[in-house]
């Protein structure tokens, strides 16, 4: 029973998945989809694979008219569009999907939308401290709950909050923060405000910031201010209470090693 794929037909999904991969691949290829690009992502067959940078509010109408496209708008935390990964049953049978998606720290399992599901920060933070018990999985699931910390920047008029579990490494964190706070530095460029999402200007922004002598510092559980990057990433997200983007001239007195790193343009 080979139904023509309609972009609008959510029911098509149910009839597709029990059949396995082959039909899907056929249809996808006939529609000119690049399967590779949609692996582990969440579009319906026939819908466009959302590129991270291009998915935005402006495209929402056309995408949503396809019925059940999972498109999520820009998040507060670093501007990354994410897709909520469903069963993944679209592309792989359930058992295989388990193997694929249970990788620790895999971005698929951690893909989250800001504020969804709607759970208050207090509850999230409390549960983060006591990871949920799970018979199936030996790994603690603490990686999948949120760790919100406040981020302030010298000279910026207000704070931001980010979820540390959205990042896998210091470089990701640094990039995310640069994107988030670039509007404060770029604002000084005058009336021609470059939207942060413009790819070309992002490169310019990063150049601008790396020359701008800011360093990332954080307050740890003991109340000490440290330079970000001194400890292994996993230890960092467990001990970091809050982050401050400091002018490097003010960062004297923190680990000298770190300051040297800065001078190297790290």
Q: Which residues bind another protein (CB under 8 A)?
A: 10-11, 13-14, 57-58, 60-61, 64-65, 67-68, 70, 72-74, 76, 84-88, 98, 101, 109-110, 112-123, 126-127, 130, 132-134, 136-137, 141, 144-146, 148, 150, 157-161, 183, 187, 191, 193, 195-197
Nearer to another protein, 14 or 34 (CB): 14
CA dist 257 and 246 (Å) reads 16
Identify which of 124, 111, 12 has the alpha carbon closest to the alpha carbon of residue 55: 111
Distance set, CA 261 to CA 17, 227, 255, 256 (Å): 51, 10, 10, 9
Q: How far is the CB of 266 from another protein (least distance, A)?
A: 28
Nearer to another protein, 36 or 120 (CB): 120
Q: How far is the CB of 171 from another protein (least distance, A)?
A: 23
Burial class of residue 82, CB neighbours in 10 A (0-12, 13-18, 19+): buried
Q: How far is CA 49 from the centre of its chain?
A: 17
Nearer to another protein, 118 or 253 (CB): 118
In the structure encoding, which two tokens stand for residue 230, read together?
Answer: 């001194």
Q: How far is the CB of 233 from another protein (least distance, A)?
A: 19
Let me know: does 261 contact 229? Beta carbons within 8 Å.
yes
Nearer to another protein, 41 or 258 (CB): 41
Q: How far is the CB of 259 from another protein (least distance, A)?
A: 28
Q: How far is the CB of 67 from another protein (least distance, A)?
A: 8
Let me know: does 100 contact 88? Beta carbons within 8 Å.
yes
Nearer to another protein, 152 or 248 (CB): 152
């Amino acid at each position: 029973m080979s139904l023509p794929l309609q972009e609008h037909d959510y029911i098509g999904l149910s009839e597709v998945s029990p059949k396995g991969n082959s039909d899907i691949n056929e249809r996808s290829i006939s529609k000119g989809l690049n399967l590779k690009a949609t692996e582990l992502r969440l579009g319906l067959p026939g819908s466009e694979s959302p590129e991270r940078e291009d998915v935005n509010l402006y495209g929402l109408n056309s995408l949503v008219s396809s019925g059940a496209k999972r498109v999520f708008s820009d998040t507060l935390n670093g501007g990354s569009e994410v897709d909520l990964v469903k069963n993944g049953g679209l592309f792989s049978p359930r058992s295989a999907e388990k193997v694929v998606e249970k990788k620790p720290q895999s971005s698929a399992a951690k893909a989250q939308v800001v504020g969804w599901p709607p759970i208050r920060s207090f509850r999230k933070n409390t549960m983060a401290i006591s990871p949920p018990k799970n018979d199936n999985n030996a790994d603690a699931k603490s990686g999948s709950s949120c760790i919100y910390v406040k981020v302030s920047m010298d000279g910026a008029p207000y704070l931001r909050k980010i979820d540390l579990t959205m990042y896998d490494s210091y470089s990701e964190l640094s990039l995310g923060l640069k994107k988030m706070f670039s509007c404060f530095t770029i604002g000084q460029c005058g009336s021609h405000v470059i939207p942060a999402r413009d790819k070309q200007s992002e490169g310019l922004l990063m150049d601008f910031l790396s020359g701008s002598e800011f360093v990332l510092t954080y307050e740890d559980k003991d109340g000490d201010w440290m330079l970000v990057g001194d400890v292994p990433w996993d230890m960092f997200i467990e001990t970091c209470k809050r982050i401050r983007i400091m002018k490097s001239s003010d960062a004297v007195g923190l680990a000298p090693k770190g300051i040297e790193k800065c001078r190297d343009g790290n």
